[in-house]
Structure 1
Amino acid sequence: MIKVNNVSMKFKIYHDKIHSIKEYFVAKIKGNLKYEEFWALNNISFEINKGEVVGIIGRNGAGKSTLLKVISGILVPTEGKVICQSNIVPMLELGSGFDMDLTGKENIYLNGSILGYSKEFLDLKYEEILEFSELEKFIDTPIRNYSSGMLMRLAFSVATVVEPEILIVDEILAVGDSSFQTKSKKRMMELMSGGTTVLFVSHNLEQIREMCNRVIWLDHGEIKMIGDAKTVCDSYNI
């Protein structure tokens, strides 16, 4: 379902104190821009088969989120390429497509359209999304009045309304209170058992052991180890 071929990702870290676009271009024309290159990913290659649940682990700054963004198409790799055989639903920054001045209901349709769902489909699924989010009393309230937990619950409910063929998840099972976390985890397990191919980043090794078939261990932008979940998690702990 997914082939990652020799992918590398370079960022430029600027050290100049530039406060406007004008200052940036003036410094660039004069050749005064000072930066260093940082390779967040370095020659990453692996394949994921249909129906696999693959965990990605590593310390902060190892390149996990960058890798997910490259596979999702949010970032274009500096080198290499990614081939995906089906549609991807990325759950990386829940609620990033919301408009704070719109109501919860209006944002269901807005966020759903960003994820590629038609209005007709959202009409059919609206009550299901509403019930899952547990936000019935607040759905006609502008979401600027929502707590962060309420926003995450609404975004999670919209994103998981269908069974995508490829699902990319970055540390989102800590959504809402404990009861909603349990429900969201159950929903994720349903998606995984239904044949959805999943890439899953988490710092919680118990979640990784429980939910994943294989694990990729990233360290300083490189694959340090790849294999079955128990073996890789045990090695990471050591």
Structure 2
Amino acid sequence: MATPVIRVDNVGIRFRRNRGGRRNFKDLFSNRDRRSRPGEFWAFRNVSFDVQAGEAIGVVGRNGQGKSTLLKLVAGVVLPDEGRVEVNGGVAPLIEITGGFVNDLTVRDNVYLTAGLHGMTRHEIEDRFDEIIDFAEIGDFIDTPYKHLSSGMKVRIAFSVISMLDEPIILVDEVLAVGDRGFKEKCYRRIEEMLAGGRTLFFVSHNEKDLRRFCTRGLYLDKGKLQLDGPIADVLDRYNAEYHR
């Protein structure tokens, strides 16, 4: 069997309630035992799965079950407290995609900055600049400070930049919650084009229609565990049955 593009091996991650987030930097080098301390809880534990190149995986579960955290582990933004995450290939992270943009810079400068931070060369950005702007449909605002854009326009330009990356793995986390119907469909078609080109999709969403549209396989997280790994239809049926009972 081919080497997985994503391997999650017996992974666990914990948080602190009393600090509202992850452990601090000092804690990374102390208290490395696996016992939970006062105020700590495990978001999930003993989670294992492999993803092969070209698969489209949907992650489902109730709020607070670690879906977005799992995506951030794959992206390398968060480190596990237990186990190991291996990613063989670059990622295009459609996760909190407007977070890296600088308010006081223009749209043009933000395109160069963000695309550059994700590994595109200046020549590649120049070659794709018009395509990025045309896709986002904000050509009249390229020299406007980013902070003056509407929330929908910010999502448009951010999605356009990240979706131009040639990375083999796409990570998507509810990024299309903002925007008009026409632009959402445009983004969906872009994702389908990427999948048709053999890219791998790791997709977190509460939208069952979107999950069925893009994904063939599902992961169901609940009560700190991976409850089911299987065909997306089976995973959604199990999730809906348990969520609504």
TM-score, normalising length: structure 2? 0.87
Rounded Cα–Cα distance in structure 1 between residues aligned with 2:119 and 2:81:
27
Alignment of 1:180-219 (within 5 A): 180-219=183-222
Is the counterpart of residue 5 in structure 1 residue 6 in structure 2?
no
Task: Check if 1:71 corresponds to 2:74.
Answer: yes
Alignment of 1:1-238 (within 5 A): 1-14=5-18, 35-238=38-241
Does the CA contact (< 8 Å) of 1:55 and 1:199 recur in 2? yes
Gaps of 5+ in 2: 21-36
Larger gyration radius, structure 1 or structure 2: 1
The 4+ residue runs of structure 1 with deviation greater than 4 A are none
State the distance in 2 between where 1:15 and 1:75 align: 17
Q: Could you tell me whether the CA contact under 8 Å between 1:63 and 1:220 is conserved in 2? A: no
- Which letter does structure 1 place at the counterpart of 2:139? E
Q: CA deviation at 1:168?
A: 0.6
Q: How many residues align?
A: 221
Report how far residue 187 of structure 1 moved: 0.5
Alpha-carbon shift at residue 48 of structure 1 (Å): 0.4
Does the 8 Å contact 2:89/2:167 carry over to 1?
A: no
Instruction: Give distance in 2, aligned partners of 1:197 and 1:175.
Output: 24
Identity percentage over the alignment?
Answer: 42
Partners of 2:54 and 2:233 in 1: CA distance:
19
CA contact (8 A) 1:173 1:185 kept: no
**Aligned equivalents of 1:221 and 1:74: distance in 2?**
20
The code of the aligned residue for 1:92 comes to I
